[in-house]
A and B are shown apart, each in its own frame.
Chain A
Amino acid sequence: MYIYIRRKLIHLIPIAFAVTALSFFFIDLLPGDVADAIAGIGTDNAVVDEAAVQAIRKDLGLDRPIVVRYFSWLGNAFQGELGKSYQTGQLVSDAIGLRLPVTFQLLAMAQFLAVLFAIPAGIIGAYRAGKVTDKFVTTLTFAFLAAPSFIIAIILAFLFAVMLNWFPATGYIPFSEDPIGNLRSFTLPALALALIEWPILSRVLRNDLIETLQEDFISLAKAKGLSNIYILLRHALRPSSFTLITIVGIQLGNLISGAVIVESIFALPGIGSLLVASIHAREVLMVQGIILVMAVAYVAINLAVDILYGALDPRIRQ
């Protein structure tokens, strides 16, 4: 397992290198840069003062060739220095450090809720395959699959925040300040993400369970007189959950993109909203830092999923 983890970590180096290089070059292709914004360009009636823009660009080191800038950033990143925001002066590491826990909590809660909805729905669908209950669950899953996260988020905010006033419409309260308030502020965003996530998980689990329920050891369990619930939860669920776990891992990457929208709608100060704002503001160093963290997180999640496989199925460890 140690060798396996080491190999995965070694893979991280080219991945991080590739994604940061690509993002650096793509951002550079966008028209306009942060020097324009600092000089006031981008506002009504602004006169483009090229001399001022060039001077700002030089001050920020943006006049150097892109390859030089990239390797300069990479060198600093290896030493743990991710730079500063050009406009606000905030350290990139500080900004990420502040926002990462928010996104982490959002994704964790969303994934927890998605699995919580998906497992019973998948079991019911498999157990009652082809029957009215299964068809109802299937229709429900397709309805949620078809709905974009921002629509769900807006509906949830309207229903549970504006109409019923059960949860706040926006805002973030740190767990350390008010644990209940924190959970309340995360409920709707996490639910918005979970509601688009659970249908996939539920469908995958249902299909795997249907296959598992055809296996001989299930027939044997039935012959023993074990109850259906016991067979489903104790004998069928575990061998049917491998694909589910894989999808949970893969979907975490997709959830990050959903989090960008949901974080904005619920004004959660997470990494997704920071990424979007930084791209708009051409804050290259901030974008680089976030992408690096995301790449590491993505590899780490997949590594965790692989380790979990091993725990669930000893054959993999061998």
Chain B
Amino acid sequence: MKQIWKIAILSAGGALLAVGPATAQSKGGTLTVGMDRPMTGFDSSMNPRPEYNRRNAMLPIYEDLFSTGRDGKIVPVLGESMKASPDQKTWTVTLKKGIKFSNGEPFNASAYVAHFKRYQSSKAWGFLRGMVGPIKTVIAKGSHTVEFQMLRPFPAFAAILSNPVYPMWANAPQHSLNVGKELNRQPVGTGPYMLEKWIPGVSITYVKNPHYRDPSKQHLDKIVFKVIKGELPRLNSVKSGAIDVMLTRDGKTANQAKQDSNLQVLTELVGGTTTIEFNTSRPPLNDVRVRKALAHAVNRMADLKASNDGFGRPSTDWFGPSSKWHCGGKTGYPEFNPRKAKGLLMAYGKPVKFKMVTMPIKNFIVGAKLHQTFWKRMGVEVELKVVPPGPAYFRAVRSGQFDAWLVGISEAVDPGLQAQAFFSKNRGNSTKSNFPEVDAALQKAWRSFKDEAARKAAYCGYVSAVVKQQPILFRAHNNFAVIASKKVMGLKKSNLTMTRLQDTWLAK
């Protein structure tokens, strides 16, 4: 009798396993996502902002040329293959055939070239180039072959082609011509979903793209992005079932969600770091001893705990710990050592007083006040000013009125696209860094490399050179979390704070 029960249980288990994937990937339903900020538009030549809500909301209708698999290998998406010239100044991409935009237009080389020509002639190109690299021109070399010609050797382009980098997302060319500026409101991509309705500041509704090449991957009927400002209202919305998913950088929200057994929380330790930058061109912060003292004076674990509920990790470089470029904590970043800080300040021998600016957002204002307190213990006087986030803040930073400011270094797909502003001749050199050692280290990292390990060593050398001069204090690599109700299936951790919500489905 026991044997019969065993067989019955095993058979039932086997049957469940067999039908598991089929029932799991159920069809239909609407996935509702809470956005913290409203969409400003789909056309990056008019609205280039890389803010994560916008990028995530664009993801269901666009596609990358390639993606990167878990094993680090490049996976074809719209592209079939990529090849770099020996000097890494020319990159050739072969596109897949038979792909259509959601309005039926064919996706081919001329479509992709038209997309880049639009961007290159736009006023946002100066900004977008920072994300796609030094592209000189893009040429169609055949019906499905595109050639990217660079201004200089650019090994980072492989990473740009194989990661979600939104300026690479193409719109249908004829449609773009037809609608002109309205493309900002009427995007047409190749992704599994297409825009049905956008009510600015309220919601974005996507429906299935009828021309998508693989309908079996379109699990959801609709994806709706709703603007719900504030962390708590969004978390309450997920908890109560008003929405299915929210994305956040806020530690307190993510930690609260982790305590709720009805929710799933997927965390990405992102690259980039929160920082405090110094104007190194005038006293007292033109003296490296003062800058070093300020670094030694701060307990960064306390900063992380206070400013983001411990959600992240103190940083020693700007490459995230999960990035292959991470320098493994070997950049010589100063440890918390108040005695050393006092010694350096004594050696400087003059009173230290300066002005710092921050934004009224929790992570920044708490961090600024905490640094002010730590520095006060060393006898350093800091006058703190709060300026609203956005353009006003960056204008204030660049106005020259302040000696220090809180800022973030964004995550990037490649070190060649990150934190180049400590180079003395860089237009964005707001710290007024002018250190030959730093310049030399960066120029070394710009050379063409065949060996990735050598390239990594060169970039870590650059970070170490920067740390030695300390025009910047590293605070923390903050986490990014996807919080969802348990009915959302197939959810994966974000990559570069982008989450492929279009691949999910809802449990019946």
- A residues contacting B by CB (< 8 A) are 30-33, 36-49, 52, 55-56, 59, 85, 87-90, 95, 98, 154, 157-158, 161-162, 165, 168-172, 264-267, 269, 273-274, 277, 280-282
CB-CB < 8 A to A56: which residues of B? 123
Chain A nearest CB, measured from B212 CB (Å): 26
A89 touches B41 (CB 8 A): yes
| Contact pick for A30, options B127, B237, B392, B428, CB 8 Å | B392
A169 touches B392 (CB 8 A): no
Interface residues of B in 224-259 (CB under 8 A from A): 226-230, 232-234, 236-237, 239-243
What are 14 residue pairs bridging A and B, where the CB atoms are less than 8 Å apart in the complex? A36-B394, A38-B123, A41-B395, A44-B409, A47-B427, A87-B47, A88-B184, A89-B182, A161-B242, A267-B237, A269-B201, A269-B227, A273-B229, A282-B391
Q: A282 CA to B40 CA in the complex, in Å? A: 13
- B396 proximal to A (CB < 8 A): yes
CB-CB < 8 A to B407: which residues of A? 44-45
- Extra contacts, 6 of them, besides A43-B410, A45-B407, A269-B202 (Cβ < 8 A), are A32-B392, A37-B49, A45-B410, A46-B428, A169-B242, A264-B230
Answer whether A39 and B123 are a contact pair too, CB < 8 Å, given A87-B47, A89-B41: yes
CB-CB < 8 A to B40: which residues of A? 37, 87-88, 281
Compute the total of residue contacts between A and B using a CB distance below 8 Å: 173
Most chain A beta carbons < 10 A, residue from B200, B203, B241, B419: B200
- B210 proximal to A (CB < 8 A): no
A39 touches B184 (CB 8 A): no
| Contact pick for A52, options B126, B228, B427, CB 8 Å | B126
B398 touches A169 (CB 8 A): no
Most chain A beta carbons < 10 A, residue from B228, B240, B409, B419: B240
Q: A48 CA to B391 CA in the complex, in Å? A: 10
Chain A nearest CB, measured from B402 CB (Å): 13
A42 touches B393 (CB 8 A): yes
CB-CB < 8 A to A269: which residues of B? 199, 201-203, 227
Q: A33 CA to B419 CA in the complex, in Å? A: 26
- B38 proximal to A (CB < 8 A): yes
B202 touches A88 (CB 8 A): no
Q: A126 CA to B160 CA in the complex, in Å? A: 73
Answer whether A168 and B126 are a contact pair too, CB < 8 Å, given A37-B49, A43-B50, A87-B40: no
Q: A280 CA to B239 CA in the complex, in Å? A: 29
A267 touches B233 (CB 8 A): yes
Interface residues of B in 346-368 (CB under 8 A from A): none
CB-CB < 8 A to B199: which residues of A? 98, 269
B387 touches A169 (CB 8 A): no
A85 touches B200 (CB 8 A): yes
Q: A33 CA to B427 CA in the complex, in Å? A: 21
Answer whether A267 and B395 are a contact pair too, CB < 8 Å, given A38-B47, A40-B124, A169-B233: no
B229 touches A267 (CB 8 A): yes
Answer whether A266 and B46 are a contact pair too, CB < 8 Å, given A32-B395, A169-B240, A280-B390: no
3 nearest interchain CB pairs? Answer: A32-B391, A36-B391, A40-B127
Chain B nearest CB, measured from A141 CB (Å): 27
Chain A nearest CB, measured from B38 CB (Å): 6
CB-CB < 8 A to B200: which residues of A? 85, 88, 90, 95
Interface string of B10-46 (1 = CB under 8 A from A): 0000000000000000000000001000111100001
Q: A41 CA to B428 CA in the complex, in Å? A: 12
Q: A269 CA to B383 CA in the complex, in Å? A: 39
A38 touches B46 (CB 8 A): yes
| Contact pick for B395, options A31, A45, A88, A280, CB 8 Å | A31
CB-CB < 8 A to A282: which residues of B? 391
B236 touches A158 (CB 8 A): yes
Interface string of B45-58 (1 = CB under 8 A from A): 01111110000000
| Contact pick for A273, options B127, B201, B398, CB 8 Å | B201
| Contact pick for B232, options A36, A49, A154, A274, CB 8 Å | A154
Q: A41 CA to B203 CA in the complex, in Å? A: 25
Q: A110 CA to B420 CA in the complex, in Å? A: 54
Q: A92 CA to B234 CA in the complex, in Å? A: 27
Answer whether A171 and B201 are a contact pair too, CB < 8 Å, given A36-B395, A265-B230: no
Answer whether A48 and B185 are a contact pair too, CB < 8 Å, given A170-B228, A267-B229, A273-B201: no
A170 touches B394 (CB 8 A): no
A274 touches B123 (CB 8 A): no
CB-CB < 8 A to A89: which residues of B? 41, 181-182, 184-185
B392 touches A31 (CB 8 A): yes
Answer whether A165 and B243 are a contact pair too, CB < 8 Å, given A88-B200, A280-B390: no
CB-CB < 8 A to A265: which residues of B? 230, 232-233
Chain B nearest CB, measured from A276 CB (Å): 9
Q: A304 CA to B226 CA in the complex, in Å? A: 36
CB-CB < 8 A to A90: which residues of B? 185, 200
CB-CB < 8 A to B421: which residues of A? 45, 47
A40 touches B49 (CB 8 A): yes
A266 touches B391 (CB 8 A): no
CB-CB < 8 A to A98: which residues of B? 199, 202
CB-CB < 8 A to A154: which residues of B? 232
CB-CB < 8 A to B408: which residues of A? 44
| Contact pick for A165, options B226, B233, B241, CB 8 Å | B241
CB-CB < 8 A to A55: which residues of B? 123
Q: A264 CA to B123 CA in the complex, in Å? A: 33
Answer whether A267 and B227 are a contact pair too, CB < 8 Å, given A43-B49, A170-B243: yes
CB-CB < 8 A to A277: which residues of B? 38, 201
